[in-house]
Amino acid sequence: MQRTHSTTTRRSLLRQVALAAILCSIVAVPASGAQRSAESGLLRALETASLLVVGEIEEVTPLLHVGYAAHLSVERRLLGKGDASRMKGQSVEFVWEEASARIPPRLSAGQRVVVALEAGPTASIWKQRIPDPTRRAALRSLAANGQGYLQGVSAGALGALEHYLALTQAARRGEAGATYLSQLAAAAPPRLALDAVLRLKDEPKLVASLTPSAGNALIAAMLRSDADATARMALQLVEQERPAVMLPLLEAKIGNSGVDAPAALLAARAALQGGLSGDLEEQLMESGSDEQRTTAARWAKGPEAGGRLRNAMLRDRSPAVREAALLRLAHIEGLTAASDLLQGLEDREPSVQYAAARALASFGAEALPDLRRAIDRGSPQASKAAVVAITLMSDPEARTALEELASDHEDPAVRALARISLGRPLDEEH
């Protein structure tokens, strides 16, 4: 019985360590990488559709095995071959599939939509769903795996989309493309708006082509309350690419508002200026708004910045503020802040722990002595985060350190986590 209990306990420990390792791997990805998601495929579907039309759904018919067919009364053709004027009033039938019978169909009668359509399906299941070969031959499929549609498109966004699609491929990569993409970011439904910002972000020529008009549209995108991901990505674009055209536009928009200006605009301006002014930084750090304090922590600079960041990192109630303060402190002070960053490994919030791990890992082999001390003397959670920090290093000394931890460390959890990091079996023993 004792042996069975011991074996069960050991397996339980290994499972816990394995889970911790997986979580570490996920959380320890740098924030910039986590934010850099690919386009959803919607913009690409709109650009490449064999037929792109605006119209009203007349009816939706359920088919076998979670298939659906819809008839659309065409109001306007935006893209596709043929006489656009002759399509008005025509009925187009298209199909798609849902993932489960428990999921209601994504489209319903009476909706006014933009749909991107491609050639009809060829899988044999559609012969069962629609036995009539004539009807089946006329079918089209909803593009982008059923995601190629838009609801609630304003007249302004529809106009920007139509103008963008009318551009040549070369023009889409220039000033006109940047302008219409920025307008879509500001006014299109969230899925298309986010794709528009991602397209701008991924094309340096587009960012370089931003005009004041496009810049003001990006500011509007940063202020969207109905599309959080779009607003965050628009801000990230400005912070990372720092287009010069934005600074005078931000100055004009912020004006004399000071601390009362939207935090996103203050952050964008700080990125272009290399940080916040001392007075504004202090006011934002003392704000009751988590967003304002996060902005202050992300862009603190000057002689008082170190003290303010250390205080925020250790005492602020918001994990986002503590993480931002930790990363900014690492950025402006480097390895000299290692002893403070080690305290981040003890934070109660996993995102802050692993931000500390990433920051310490960025210093390379020079941080190894501090991380070894954290492994030996820190809490269990700090020990695991410190092992993750070593795992993130590319230095050969880090590999050696992991080998030593995997073989010799007295804590079985540390040994197991080091083995996982090295790609070894969990229960390996020497």
The pLDDT tens digits of the residues spanning 238-267 come to: 999 999 999 999 999 999 999 999 999 999
- In this prediction, residue 25 carries a pLDDT of 46
- In this prediction, residue 85 carries a pLDDT of 61
- In this prediction, residue 430 carries a pLDDT of 52
Span between the terminal Cα atoms of the chain, in Å: 26
Decide if pLDDT at 34 tops 80: no
C-beta separation of 178 from 207 below 8 A: yes
Compute CA distances 172 → 31, 86, 163, 186, 213, whole Å: 29, 28, 10, 17, 16
Which residues is 59 bridged to in the sheet?
Answer: 71
- CA–CA separation, 216 and 220 (whole Å): 6
Q: Per residue in 132-141, pLDDT tens? A: 999 999 999 9
pLDDT band at 161 (very low <50, low <70, confident <90, very high): very high
Task: Tell me 146's DSSP state.
Answer: T
* Residue bearing tokens 């599309």: 227
The two structure tokens encoding residue 68: 């659906």
The two structure tokens encoding residue 161: 């989309």
Per the document, the length of the chain is: 430
Q: Per residue in 261-285, pLDDT tens? A: 999 999 999 999 999 988 999 999 9
The two structure tokens encoding residue 164: 């963008």
Pairing status of strand 112-119 against strand 67-80: unpaired
Sequence-distant (≥ 6) Cβ neighbours of residue 382 within 8 angstroms: 342, 345, 346, 353, 374
- In this prediction, residue 254 carries a pLDDT of 97
Sequence-distant (≥ 6) Cβ neighbours of residue 188 within 8 angstroms: 150, 153, 157, 160, 161, 196
